[in-house]
Amino acid sequence: MDGWFVYEGLSEDLRLPYHSHDSEGRIVTDANIFLWHAHHRIHNEGTPVMLHPPPLCQACRHYHSGTTPSCAAYPDGIPGDILSGNIRHVIPCSGDRGIQFGKLVTYPAYFMTADRPVECLFRVTCDGTYERYVPILDEWEVDNEFVSVLLETETDFRLVDEFDANTFIESAQLRKAAINPCSLQFRQMMYLHSRKRDI
Instruction: Decide if pLDDT at 39 tops 50.
Output: no
Residues 66, 80: Cα–Cα separation, whole Å: 16
pLDDT for residue 156: 83
Q: Write the CB contacts of 124 (distance below 8 Å, at least 6 apart in sequence).
A: 55, 56, 59, 103, 108, 109, 111, 130
What is the secondary structure of 81-114 as a DSSP string? Answer: HHHTTSS-TTS--TTSTT----BSSSSPEEEEE-
Instruction: Decide if pLDDT at 162 tops 90.
Output: yes
Which three-class secondary structure state does DSSP give residue 4?
strand
Phi-psi bin for 98: left (phi > 0), alpha (psi -120 to 50), beta?
A: left
Domain map (residue ranges) of the chain: 4-45, 51-199
DSSP 179: S
pLDDT for residue 22: 47
List the beta bridge partners of residue 20: 28
* pLDDT, averaged across the chain: 76
DSSP 60: B
Q: E strands along the chain, which residues? A: 4-7, 20-21, 27-30, 63-64, 70-71, 109-113, 121-124, 130-134, 139-142, 157-160
The amino acid occupying position 71 is: C
pLDDT for residue 73: 94
Predicted confidence band at 177 (pLDDT cuts at 50, 70, 90)?
very high
Q: Is the dihedral of CA 72, 74, 77, 80 positive or negative?
A: negative
pLDDT, tens only, 85-118: 888 899 999 999 999 999 888 889 999 987 655 6
Residue 71 backbone dihedrals phi, psi, to 5 degrees? -155, 180
pLDDT for residue 118: 67
